[in-house]
């Protein structure tokens, strides 16, 4: 209550600077603890570089110890973040009402002055990006045997099904990827980073919006046309599913040309009936071949070029657990990254109506700096008065560096 009073005592100047009433924004938030900036500074030892455990498009993440003794992952949004205070508080309100075994838990936040900080539970085993895909498990005690991967795939599917089908209004995550799947001490997967999540009214079939996501995981209709539906998340999950089974990133330019793009390789092997050859060699043959191939077929179903052909996440869960049969006749060619990497994307132009339909979604694309590590291929799109033409020409290397943790 003290923190809330402190927040409200500053609302006059704060509201004038940001164009809305802070009190109105937080008055409906009851389930989130509000931390003072002083508490956050103490928890992170003044944001010590030694406690920094990750950095992404929205800011830095620090490991901290709260005054009650709990370890926390503290996400400090950068001043340059495109996410405004109002959106930040909306995110808090949404997350505070959501609880699921396979979703990261929000402890609270800090919204003093211009500071916008999220406080999550700390997960001991980091992300799939650094461990399974980054080779981190080779230097740790984590054993990604087949049963562990089986549980991780189903856990992520259940978490996403919850967001898509049980939360009202439902949530499209928009950035499902390995670095946003965190693992607790028991290797239970937790979907993180709801900073990109949007609430979609149930009566809308899709929404065209600013594209935010990661090349390699982006559904073609979202990357090119800005068409955002739950089917875009399902595409991303399909890519992730194949990554977990194969133990490799979706894009790796260090491999021979014919093997650089995982989804393309998966389709080629599927057509040759050689899917089992894609299973991670680190398993040393100790896996259920039928299950592994079924998982990759589900991945192909999820990544089909036509969104309407992709199954719902609840159906995906049943396919993964064997409750629903996976039929080869239902699998069509996936939408491949190589199909749009060289595509020229034009911004809105006055002379043609079809392009003006997409005014808000793609006039220019900006890639962040290399400091974004695994997410160096994150794609954002902002409308601009001066339309530009951008060509995807270079491959996107998803190689992993150390110290990757994202919430």
Catalytic residues: 175
Q: What distances in angstroms separate CA 120 from CA 263, 271, 336, one per listed residue?
A: 32, 43, 35
- Does 75 count as an annotated binding residue? yes
* CB 237, CB 217: distance < 8 Å: no
Secondary structure in 3-state letters for the chain: CHHHHHHHHCHHHHHHHHCCCHHHHHCCCCCCEECCHHHHHHHCCCCCHHHEEEEECCEEEEEEECCCCCEEEEEEECCCCCCCHHHHHHHHHHHHCCCCCCECCEEEEECCCCCCEEEEECCCCCECCCCCCCCHHHHCCCCCCHHHHHHHHHHHHHHHHHHHHCCCCCEECCCCCHHHEEECCCCCEEECCHHHCEECCCCCCCEECCCEEECCCCCHHHHHHCEECHHHHHHHHHHHHHHHHHCCCCECCCCCHHHCEHHHHHHHHHHCCCHHHHCCHHHCCCCCHHHHHHHHHHHHHHCECCHHHCCCHHHHHHHHHCCCCCCHHHCCCECCHHHCCCCEEECCCCCCHHHHCCCCCCCEEECCCHHHHHHCCEEEEECCCCCCEEECCCCCCCCCCCCCCCC
- Return the number of other C-beta atoms located less than 10 Å from residue 248's C-beta: 21
Instruction: Give the sign of the dihedral formed by CA 121, CA 131, CA 240, CA 54.
Output: positive
* CB 75, CB 117: distance < 8 Å: yes
Binding-site annotation: residue ranges for ATP: 75
Binding-site annotation: residue ranges: 75
């Amino acid at each position: 209550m003290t923190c809330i009073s402190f927040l409200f005592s500053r609302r006059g100047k704060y509201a004038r600077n940001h164009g809305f009433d802070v009190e109105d924004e937080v008055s409906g938030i009851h389930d989130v603890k509000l931390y003072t900036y002083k508490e956050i500074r103490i928890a992170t030892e003044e944001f010590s570089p030694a406690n920094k455990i990750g950095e992404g498009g929205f800011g830095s993440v620090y490991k901290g110890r709260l005054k009650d003794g709990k370890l926390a992952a503290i996400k400090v949004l950068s001043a340059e973040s495109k996410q405004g205070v109002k959106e930040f508080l909306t995110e808090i309100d949404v997350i505070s009402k959501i609880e699921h075994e396979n979703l990261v838990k929000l402890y609270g936040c800090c919204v003093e002055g211009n500071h916008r900080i999220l406080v999550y539970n700390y997960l001991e085993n980091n992300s799939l990006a650094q461990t399974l895909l980054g080779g981190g498990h080779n230097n740790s005690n984590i054993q990604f045997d087949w049963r562990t991967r089986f549980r991780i795939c189903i856990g992520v599917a259940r978490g996403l099904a919850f967001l898509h089908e049980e939360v009202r209004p439902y949530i499209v995550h928009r950035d499902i990827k390995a670095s946003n799947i965190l693992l607790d001490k028991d290797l239970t997967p937790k979907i993180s980073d709801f900073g990109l999540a949007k609430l979609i009214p149930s009566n809308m079939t899709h929404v065209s919006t600013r594209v935010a996501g990661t090349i390699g995981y982006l559904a073609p209709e979202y990357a090119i046309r800005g068409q955002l539906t739950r089917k875009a998340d399902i595409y991303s999950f399909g890519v992730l599913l194949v990554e977990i089974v194969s133990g490799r990133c979706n894009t790796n330019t260090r491999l021979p040309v014919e093997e650089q793009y995982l989804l393309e390789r998966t389709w080629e092997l599927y057509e040759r009936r050689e899917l089992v050859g894609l299973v991670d060699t680190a398993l040393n043959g100790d896996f259920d071949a039928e299950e592994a191939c079924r998982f990759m077929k589900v991945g192909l179903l999820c990544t089909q070029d036509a969104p309407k052909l992709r199954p719902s996440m609840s159906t995906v869960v049943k396919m993964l657990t064997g409750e629903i049969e996976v039929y080869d006749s239902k699998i069509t060619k996936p939408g491949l990254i190589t199909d749009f990497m060289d595509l020229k994307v034009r911004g809105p132009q006055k002379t043609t109506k079809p392009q003006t339909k997409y005014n808000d979604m793609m006039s220019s694309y900006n890639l962040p700096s290399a400091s974004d590590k695994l997410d160096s291929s994150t794609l954002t799109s902002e409308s601009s008065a001066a339309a530009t033409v951008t060509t995807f020409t270079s491959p996107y290397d998803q190689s992993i560096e150390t110290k990757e943790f994202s919430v």
